[in-house]
Structure 1
Amino acid sequence: MKWFLRLLLWVNGAIVLLTITGYLASYIAPSRIAFPQAVGLFMPWLLLTNLIFTIFWLFLRRRWFWLSFGCLVLGVGQSSRFIGFNFQQESDAQQLGICSFNSQSYNESDHLNGFLAEIHGQHQLDFICLQEITDDHLESLKKTSELQHHYFHRGKAILSKFPIISQGNIQFDQSVNGCIWIDIVYDQKTIRIYNLHLKSNQVTREAETVLDDINTNRAKAFSDMRRMVSNYQKNSVTRKDQVDRILRDIDHVSHPMILAGDFNDTPFSYIYQQISNRLTDQFKKKGLGIGSTYAGALPGLKIDYIFADENFEPLDHSILKTPISDHFPVLSTLKIKN
């Protein structure tokens, strides 16, 4: 029995080291060391494993529980990016509602119209930021959502209740990845809305391949997993460069702003830290429960966000579980501070 407990202790130590590596990912640029970014993919499971070890050692009345417990305490600030304990939700007569949703190549189906019709009246939607969309369905989506103004560019669209006074885009390449923005006037104030879609990791396809092979060809499954982690590390560098371009644009904006979209990266990543240094993650302020926004083969990931600057007061935040995409819609309500 002693040898088994010592083996578990070594495993526990390895889990703690990996978890701390995941914590450090926020502060190490992927262009310097990319491995910590890949650890972020597994942080929900590493945190859960630390919790299980803490309970296990406490049950056995072993002082070793401090190993995982101390690791969890060390990362409380970062864990709150993924786990919300905000039970008080608010509302205000002057609030604005915004939704971000990656519709997973919406041109292949027409589920989004039905979904918008279903939630109409249940949630305030003044802006909808869509990724992986085509312009074929925009008119019907505008009719269903009752948002009559829009800007579309290369697979990204923003639907707005308010007239658009200016618009533009930050295009990274010839793909759907990029960032678009609009300016509107509300309560005599100009507000900028950004909608971004950063470089994808192809996690869904890679993870499904791993799951398919794990029972029939374990060697190939582990090879697939190494490739998935390698791709994530490489794409982390690309996303860092993309975020740098967006932040340079933000530096020139003087009015209130909201940044929403599919970041394709975790709350423990370097790019999350770079953005949260300037803007506030609405989930961290008003989210409740597990913040998973990804419904693909690798569960537990939070990769879709709504950020706002200090001009806004967060009121509510929710993640709607729907099977119409491999992402879940993210909704926030907030108001401009006086």
Structure 2
Amino acid sequence: MLVGLIFINPVKRIINFSSDKKEKAAIKIVSFNVKGGIMGKEEIGKYLKSQEADVILLQEGRGGDFPYLEEYKRVNFSGVGTILTQHKVLNTKELDFPEKSEIPPAVQADIEIKGKVYRFIDVYLHPFKFEREMVTLNGNSDANEQKMKDIVKRLIPTFKIHQKQIELIKNAVESSPYPVILAGDFNSVPNSYEYYHLSSGLEDAFLSAGKGSATSFHDYKFPIRIDYIFSSPSVKAVSYVVDRSVSFSDHYPVISEFSSGSK
């Protein structure tokens, strides 16, 4: 029983069966790493249009425009993160380093929806840049050993970059005068340093309202969750879905609905 209690929360971050929510949905969010649209911009645009979301947060959009989304206001600085909405945008900001030595990890927008203002932060943490063959082990022990060494070489510098990026994002969350919805591609698994620090003080929408598997990245043969939606405690997740019906990217779209938040 003790072992079960220790491991139940880590497991629930990947597989969860929450109860149906009684709160009424007021805000619909789509977060999607579109891989630059290289697998079909028209299909992606048509899909996003069909969702009728209040806010769309894209990662790896590379500054591109997608068909069918012309009526959406667009917040984009570096081309990595893009926020789209049909609602009133009050303020925008790129979360950048003073020395501008690395790609900015996030873009934020304060958006008014149905008379209330929310801060949306679209996150794309520095990627580890693993290719499928780099993480696939075979019967050759020497080759596998070299693969593991190469993986470690990539892990350490990327973790250092993530520490700096997390500090920027945490400051944006903690300084917000509005409820926050933080979403995107974190390039980190649910039991990571990145997850624990960025989710601190926020609620994981999958834990609150998700059912089944949270696996969102499907380029490898094993299940992995690296895409997330978090929110301030005052904004309750009503639903959470990883849409595996579409394959326009190496990520699946993540869709969540929220209540409007406490008064």
Matched-pair contact (CA < 8 Å) for 1:258–1:306: yes
In the alignment, what sits opposite 1:159?
Answer: 84
Larger RCO (alpha carbons 8 Å, 6+ apart): 2
Distance apart, 1:226 and its partner CA: 2.9
Larger Rg belongs to:
1
Matched-pair contact (CA < 8 Å) for 2:49–2:68: no
Matched-pair contact (CA < 8 Å) for 2:43–2:248: no
Which amino acid counterpart does residue 237 of structure 1 have in structure 2? K
Matched-pair contact (CA < 8 Å) for 1:176–1:197: no
SS class of match (2:57): strand
Are 2:174 and 1:251 aligned?
yes
SS class of match (1:137): coil
Matched-pair contact (CA < 8 Å) for 1:150–1:164: no
CA spacing shift, 1:142–1:249, aligned 2, 3 Å? same
Which amino acid counterpart does residue 144 of structure 2 have in structure 1? A
In the alignment, what sits opposite 2:93?
Answer: 168
Structure with more helix by fraction: 1
SS class of match (1:336): coil
CA displacement 1:47-90 (0-9 Å, x = unmatched): xxxxxxxxxxxxxxxxxxxxxx7544421122211111114255
1: CA distance, partners of 2:235 / 2:141: 50
Distance apart, 1:127 and its partner CA: 0.8
Distance apart, 1:163 and its partner CA: 2.2
Are 2:142 and 1:142 aligned?
no
Matched-pair contact (CA < 8 Å) for 1:132–1:176: no
Distance apart, 1:134 and its partner CA: 2.7
Matched-pair contact (CA < 8 Å) for 1:291–1:302: yes
Structure with more strand by fraction: 2
Report how many aligned residue pairs link the two structures: 258
2: CA distance, partners of 1:194 / 1:84: 25
In the alignment, what sits opposite 1:260?
Answer: 183
In the alignment, what sits opposite 1:53?
Answer: none
Distance apart, 1:142 and its partner CA: 1.5
Matched-pair contact (CA < 8 Å) for 2:49–2:69: no
2: CA distance, partners of 1:225 / 1:125: 41
Are 2:27 and 1:96 aligned?
yes
CA spacing shift, 1:116–1:89, aligned 2, 3 Å? farther
Q: Which runs of 5+ in 1 are unaligned?
A: 1-68
Matched-pair contact (CA < 8 Å) for 1:281–1:305: yes
- Percent identical pairs in the alignment equals 22
> 2:42 pairs with 93, 96, 113, which one?
113
In the alignment, what sits opposite 1:197?
Answer: 124
Q: Which runs of 5+ in 2 are unaligned?
A: none
In the alignment, what sits opposite 2:106?
Answer: 179
Are 2:162 and 1:239 aligned?
yes
CA spacing shift, 1:219–1:253, aligned 2, 3 Å? same
Distance apart, 1:115 and its partner CA: 3.9
Matched-pair contact (CA < 8 Å) for 2:30–2:57: yes
Are 2:198 and 1:270 aligned?
no
In the alignment, what sits opposite 2:216?
Answer: 293
In the alignment, what sits opposite 2:60?
Answer: 132
CA displacement 1:242-266 (0-9 Å, x = unmatched): 1111111222211111111111111
Which amino acid counterpart does residue 200 of structure 1 have in structure 2? P
| TM-score, L = length of structure 2 | 0.88
In the alignment, what sits opposite 1:24?
Answer: none
2: CA distance, partners of 1:150 / 1:100: 14
Are 2:206 and 1:283 aligned?
yes
CA displacement 1:274-320 (0-9 Å, x = unmatched): 12221111011111112111112252111110111022011000001
In the alignment, what sits opposite 1:8?
Answer: none
2: CA distance, partners of 1:296 / 1:72: 30
1: CA distance, partners of 2:85 / 2:134: 39
TM alignment of 1:44-55, pairs within 5 A: none
CA spacing shift, 1:283–1:210, aligned 2, 3 Å? closer
